[in-house]
Amino acid sequence: MFLQTTSSSCSTQLKQLRLCSTSSYSKTSFGFKTFSSSSSILLHGNHRNNNNSIIANYIPQIYNYKKSDFERKPTPKWSIVYRRISLMENPEMGSAFVLNQLDKEGKNLSRWELCRVVKELRRFRRFKLALEVYEWMNEQGDKFTLSSSDAAIHLDLISKVLGIPSTEEYFSRLPETLKDKRTYGSLLNAYVRARLKEKAESLLEEMISKGYAMHPLPFNVMMTLYMKLRDYDKAISIVAQMLEKSIPLDIYTYNIWLTACGATGSTEKMEEVLELMKMDTTVDPNWTTYSTMATIYMNLGHLSKAKNNLRMVEGKITGRERIPFHYLLSLYGGIGEKEDVYRIWNTYKTSFPTIPNLGYHSMIASLVRLDDIEGAKKIYEEWLPLRSTYDPRICNLLIGWYVKNGLLEKAEDFVDQVLEAGGKVNAHTWEMLADGHIQKKQIPEVLSCIKEATMAEGGKTWRPSPTSVSQFLFLCVEESEMASKKAFLELLTRAGCLNDERYRSLISSNGEVDFGLKISVDKDETGSDNDDDSGADMLLNQLEGSF
């Protein structure tokens, strides 16, 4: 069996397949925008709560905690505690406020329940509140005896809320008894998420020396780091390292390996990896495998092969999985198969009693991509009375199509309809309208839209596309609108943009616009509200799913 061969024979097999020979790779650029965060690996979305989370854990499930012996007091169910924390009118009061209230009311708070509350808060990305629960538990002295699993989750939360320096300080203060593969793995994950390559590499070596890296997960995490950094050959080299150390490859290793091969433009090597997967009796190619291959084929223009792999995705859907439908909608739209988009949509609707916002986003995005604007509007109207919440990213799909096709007035009318109907728009909505006004050289309207963007939902973290900034500054100079240029720069300053080198580089030291500068902007660095991460970000989110 492939994975039970000696490391030397494994190396021989790899050499024969030339899968680890970096010299033979074509350095073809690969658009990872088509891979999103866990909500949509292939085309879009910001749904980091992935139901297909990796099973191998640094941090075991918390259901094995023993209950405390405080039987005299009534014990509230964890869901009651969770609701009181998550539904606080003023979240700034913090989780400790609620927990202290419950304690004063004579309610016994067991470790199992509090850890279950943390799990739920993390599931909905309420990281600060989750961290506060652990901080409160630590302040209770000997009432709660926390394990290395708790410490690993605590460390993960610190990294997300407070950053790497605080994470490292917490790790350094841990007693040696709590420094095991779980806490080391959590720290490694934090370094990878922050793209700290040298620190991650050093920590992995330490984990290997301590015997904490005898399973594929830490190596998978490192592969995602190299994918994020677009060092695809390095990601592939991790596979050789695993084989040399007799570390088994799991489904996630293979899927990242496939992606790395595709990123180099080598469909041949990608297909060879798939054949190795089929030979390995410990893994079974899943729908993620085939959707990954479909995306790579699509980006490289092999539409027939992409379609064949989408048929394989359809055959791999089991149980009540919604996520594959989103991928299928997106990818069939990406290869221009409108009939298949509607076919999958109808199957999706008959398979589930309700469709989430993400499903409607996937469908409308595909129809917009296919220029089926009437079909997209029809699905949008269907969504309005059924929506769970109003997601401005869905209406932005239609607005973006209108602007792109020079129909700015229709875009503005649509925004008015949304607002009149009680819907909402976000910062990116106004940025798209600003782009439309830039094309029409309507300087006052551009300034008005940018001002609205800074005040809209998401405005505090919104940053306009550097390309749009450059175009507008050029327009101001071209039209001799120096007052408008100054007003625009003031808006950028208030938005914090001029602290970013990408924006500062557009302005010379004397305040003039540098028109000779060639702007190269990654897709995830623009003002898009799709929140699309790279495929590597998606893979890392999967790896985090079990934390």
Distance CA 135, CA 161 (A): 13
Q: Is 457 helix (H, G, I), strand (E, B) or coil?
A: strand
pLDDT over threshold 60, residue 198: yes
Does 350 or 499 have the greater pLDDT score? 350
Average pLDDT over the chain reads: 83
Q: What does the pLDDT average to over 32-49?
A: 35
Within 8 A by CB and 6+ apart from 348, the residues are 322, 325, 329, 355, 359
Per the CB < 8 A criterion, the answer to whether 439 and 476 are in contact is no
379 within some domain: no
505 within some domain: yes
Looking at residue 526, what DSSP letter applies? Answer: S
- 18: exposed, middle or buried (Cβ count in 10 Å: 0-12, 13-18, 19+): middle
Residue showing tokens 């490391």? 7
Q: Of 55-64, 215-224, 318-327, 531-540, which range is least confident?
A: 55-64
pLDDT tens for 44-92 read 333 333 433 332 333 333 333 344 444 455 555 888 999 999 998 888 8
The two three-digit tokens of residue 27, written as one number: 């350095």
Distance CA 364, CA 382 (A): 11
14 within some domain: no
State phi, psi for 492 to the nearest 5 degrees. Answer: -65, -35
Distance CA 294, CA 292 (A): 5
Counting the structural domains of the chain, the total is 1
pLDDT tens for 216-271 read 999 999 999 999 999 999 999 999 999 999 999 999 999 999 999 999 999 999 99
Does 388 or 200 have the greater pLDDT score? 200
- 322: exposed, middle or buried (Cβ count in 10 Å: 0-12, 13-18, 19+): middle
Q: Give the number of other Cβ atoms within 10 Å of residue 373's Cβ.
A: 18
518 within some domain: yes
* Distance spanning both ends of the chain, measured CA to CA: 31
The two three-digit tokens of residue 35, written as one number: 């891979």
353 within some domain: no
Q: Is 462 helix (H, G, I), strand (E, B) or coil?
A: coil
45 within some domain: no
309 within some domain: no
Q: Of 22-36, 117-131, 204-218, 380-394, which range is least confident?
A: 22-36
Query: Furthest-apart CA pair in the chain: how many Å?
Result: 79
pLDDT-derived band at 512, boundaries 50, 70, 90: low
194 within some domain: no
The residue type of 235 is A
pLDDT tens for 396-414 read 999 999 999 999 999 999 9
- 516: exposed, middle or buried (Cβ count in 10 Å: 0-12, 13-18, 19+): exposed
Domain assignment of residue 524, given as a range: 427-528
